Chain A
Amino acid sequence: MSVAQSTTGTGAVGVPVDTGWETVIGLEVHVQLRTRTKMFCRCENRFGAEPNELVCPVCLGYPGTLPATNQHAIDLAIRLALALGCEVRRRSVFARKNYFYPDLPKGYQISQYDEPLAEGGSVPLPSGNTVRIHRLHLEEDAGKLLHEVPGGGPLPGRSLVDFNRCGVPLVEIVTEPEIGSPADAQAYLQVLHQVLLYTGASDGNMEEGSLRCDANLSLRPVGETALGTKTEVKNLNSFRHVAKALEYEGERQLHVLTSGGRVEQETRSFEPSTGVTRSLRSKEEAHDYRYFPEPDLPTVVLSRERIERQANQLPELPWTKSARFRDAYGLRLEEAALLSGSVALATYYERAVAAHQKGKRTIANWVMTELLRELKERSIDVNEAIAPERLAAVVALVDSGELSTTAAKEVLAAAWDSSETPDQIADRLGLRQVRDDTQLEAWADEAIAANEKAVAEYLGGRRQALGYLVGQIMKASRGSAEPRAAQEILRRKLADR
């Protein structure tokens, strides 16, 4: 097998066990916190401003300036840490991480090193696996580098620097290196993304860089406990890219190892268009960040009360909500996970169920199919959807047999943009299911008269032809005929022949 060429062979499960090797993945995620201002100065924390609009002497690293910690950022980081089950340390320390790069005007990044804000923690995945968190710490973002002129146009031999992002509050979340497959890595990121939105710690906007991921991967012989040599893939900015990059990297390393080679410890970049990771020019010099405690900032000392205040503000978390949906509403796990995907969608579903309690399963189906499709078509948010009580009223008409599913879709579409009740709409459009024999008989006679071929087939013993005739009645009645009654009448009429 040519591993290097096969990008889909092992799929999302990673390197197959029968190769004798197993995958070990660790993720490092950077999350921009949703504050109004930066971490150590009161410049706005906002995406999309004019280049170098949101800067001041502090975040530009001018001599003589002093940082002042954003306490709201600390609170958001505490809340996020608690949501991930971490232990928040009563005492943590900011440290300087020294390196030279054009996006870092001070020549160091204020981060945390040996005394991070929080440690431990775990995140349950829908698959039943768990990802353990190693640590969570606070730091500041760096500026942004552009390698072409905005709006296109080459920039040979030069880069542009925009410092608007410099100093934006970041939380770095590091997992234990024990994730077993690219699929679990992707699932972890998706759950983490939900937690960010549930807690309000971040807007989680991946296109704007609010959530960025570096992934480490190594292989080791099955049964071995020591870690193999890892490579790091930097700056993955979509869930799919993370899985794709890790799948490729796992297969690449397997190829190297099984052909007797050695994996080089290095940093690689992922090229989304080709699905390939590539070695970044790496100097043979080990990084030496010369961390030391930030002398311009006091130690962060948190009172129990302050940590408790954040604990009290934690919402019901995605995995708890999902389990509750499954148990309380009798949903399958995947359905429960989908409906608890966002707080807004979960609230919508629960409000609809409250309005039509017997319909918890039917409502779930309608929300997952009709509602989501309609939202997508209209490119709108669930908050702008038809009121959940109105959707529930439509579903109630289906559950009571008043409307066929087809007719109900029509009523829902009409109810979306009108103030009439679904009941009124059903009447106005004449969509209530007809069980009235006189009307059904008239449609049945029409169907029989107009479809001699199907009638002959049915009488000749081809029973499926009856379904075709029922379909004709449904069509003539614009979906309002009650299919079982229609079928009964057809059968009776044809038996007389």
Chain B
Amino acid sequence: MSLGVEEVRRIAELARLRISAREEATFAGQLSDIVDYIDQLREFDDGAASFEETETASDVADNDLPRPAAAAGPADLDETPLLDQFLDNAPASLDRFLLVPQVKATPGGDE
């Protein structure tokens, strides 16, 4: 098995997930199967140039052109403007802001 219970616990902690001891064992098995399967894929040689290595298209003239702000207009499947949808889905909001429990220290992100 490529993943042990210790690693599963660590991953769960980083992902802010609380899991039971029984689940730890189950997930260790399932995640190991996934990782092992990916290792198997690595052995496969498709013999052709990888899709990845295609030169990045650079001459997209309108690539940096803004489209109208989505927040003001309706979202795709609904007539409700995106900002309203987004604030409705949020646990809490204040005016146009998302309201969250206080965060002041930086845990290592870029802010």
- A residues neighboring B (CB under 8 Å): 30, 35-37, 42-44, 49-57, 60, 69-75, 91, 98-104, 109, 139, 141-147, 149, 155-163, 170, 234-235, 267, 280-283, 287-290, 298-303, 306
**Contact: A52 with B71, CB < 8 Å?**
yes
- When chains A and B are docked, how far (Å) is the Cα of A235 from the Cα of B109? 11
Residue on A nearest B109 in the bound complex, by CB: A101
**Contact: A298 with B16, CB < 8 Å?**
no
Grouping DSSP codes into helix (H, G, I), strand (E, B) and loop, the A interface class, with mixed when no group exceeds half, is loop
**Contact: B102 with A158, CB < 8 Å?**
yes
- When chains A and B are docked, how far (Å) is the Cα of A60 from the Cα of B109? 17
Contact status of A158 and B71, CB under 8 A, knowing A70-B63, A103-B111: no
Q: Which of B28-36, B40-48, B53-61 contacts A (4 or more CB under 8 A)?
A: B53-61
- When chains A and B are docked, how far (Å) is the Cα of A301 from the Cα of B42? 22
**Contact: A35 with B53, CB < 8 Å?**
no
Contact of B105 among A69, A141, A280 (CB under 8 A): A280
- When chains A and B are docked, how far (Å) is the Cα of A157 from the Cα of B16? 21
For B101, what are the chain A residues with a Cβ–Cβ distance below 8 Å? 157-159
For A51, what are the chain B residues with a Cβ–Cβ distance below 8 Å? 95-97
**Contact: B57 with A160, CB < 8 Å?**
no
Number of A-B contacts (CB under 8 A): 163
**Contact: B99 with A158, CB < 8 Å?**
yes
**Contact: B107 with A287, CB < 8 Å?**
yes
Within 8 A of A (CB), among B54-107: 54-58, 60, 63-67, 69-72, 75-76, 82-83, 86-87, 94-107
For A44, what are the chain B residues with a Cβ–Cβ distance below 8 Å? 66, 69
- When chains A and B are docked, how far (Å) is the Cα of A462 from the Cα of B95? 78
Contact of B103 among A73, A98, A139, A145 (CB under 8 A): A145
**Contact: B99 with A52, CB < 8 Å?**
no
**Contact: A53 with B100, CB < 8 Å?**
no
The 7 nearest A-B residue pairs measured at CB: A72-B64, A160-B97, A56-B70, A51-B96, A161-B98, A281-B105, A287-B108
Contact of B94 among A91, A160, A282, A287 (CB under 8 A): A160
For A109, what are the chain B residues with a Cβ–Cβ distance below 8 Å? 109-110
Q: Does B51 touch A at the CB level, under 8 Å?
A: yes
- When chains A and B are docked, how far (Å) is the Cα of A54 from the Cα of B90? 17
Residue on B nearest A97 in the bound complex, by CB: B109
Contact status of A147 and B104, CB under 8 A, knowing A51-B97, A101-B111: yes
Contact status of A158 and B100, CB under 8 A, knowing A141-B110, A299-B52: yes
**Contact: B104 with A98, CB < 8 Å?**
no
**Contact: A145 with B111, CB < 8 Å?**
yes
**Contact: B100 with A102, CB < 8 Å?**
yes
**Could you name 18 residue pairs across A and B whose Cβ atoms are closer than 8 Å?**
A51-B96, A52-B97, A53-B96, A56-B82, A60-B82, A99-B108, A104-B109, A142-B111, A144-B111, A147-B102, A147-B104, A159-B100, A161-B98, A162-B97, A163-B98, A235-B111, A298-B52, A303-B58
For B75, what are the chain A residues with a Cβ–Cβ distance below 8 Å? 57
For B1, what are the chain A residues with a Cβ–Cβ distance below 8 Å? none
- When chains A and B are docked, how far (Å) is the Cα of A56 from the Cα of B75? 9
- When chains A and B are docked, how far (Å) is the Cα of A161 from the Cα of B111? 12
Residue on A nearest B87 in the bound complex, by CB: A52
If A52-B87, A71-B63 are given as contacts, then 19 extra A-B residue pairs at C-beta distance below 8 Å, sorted by A number, are A36-B65, A52-B86, A52-B96, A55-B83, A75-B58, A98-B14, A100-B16, A101-B107, A101-B111, A109-B109, A147-B102, A159-B100, A159-B104, A160-B94, A162-B98, A300-B56, A301-B52, A301-B53, A301-B54
Give, as a whole number of angstroms, the nearest-CB distance from A72 to chain B.
4
Give, as a whole number of angstroms, the nearest-CB distance from A286 to chain B.
9
**Contact: A74 with B106, CB < 8 Å?**
no
Give, as a whole number of angstroms, the nearest-CB distance from B91 to chain A.
11
Contact of B14 among A143, A162, A288 (CB under 8 A): A288
Contact of A161 among B63, B82, B100, B108 (CB under 8 A): B100
**Contact: A267 with B106, CB < 8 Å?**
yes
Residue on A nearest B106 in the bound complex, by CB: A234
Residue on B nearest A214 in the bound complex, by CB: B110
For B110, what are the chain A residues with a Cβ–Cβ distance below 8 Å? 30, 109, 139, 141-142, 170
**Contact: B103 with A102, CB < 8 Å?**
yes
**Contact: B98 with A35, CB < 8 Å?**
no
For A104, what are the chain B residues with a Cβ–Cβ distance below 8 Å? 109
For B69, what are the chain A residues with a Cβ–Cβ distance below 8 Å? 43-44, 49, 53-56
Give, as a whole number of angstroms, the nearest-CB distance from B52 to chain A.
4
Residue on A nearest B59 in the bound complex, by CB: A71
**Contact: B108 with A267, CB < 8 Å?**
yes
- When chains A and B are docked, how far (Å) is the Cα of A33 from the Cα of B108? 22
For A281, what are the chain B residues with a Cβ–Cβ distance below 8 Å? 104-105
**Contact: A159 with B102, CB < 8 Å?**
yes
Give, as a whole number of angstroms, the nearest-CB distance from A312 to chain B.
14
Which has the most chain A C-beta neighbours within 10 Å: B16, B76, B103, B110?
B110
- When chains A and B are docked, how far (Å) is the Cα of A43 from the Cα of B87? 18
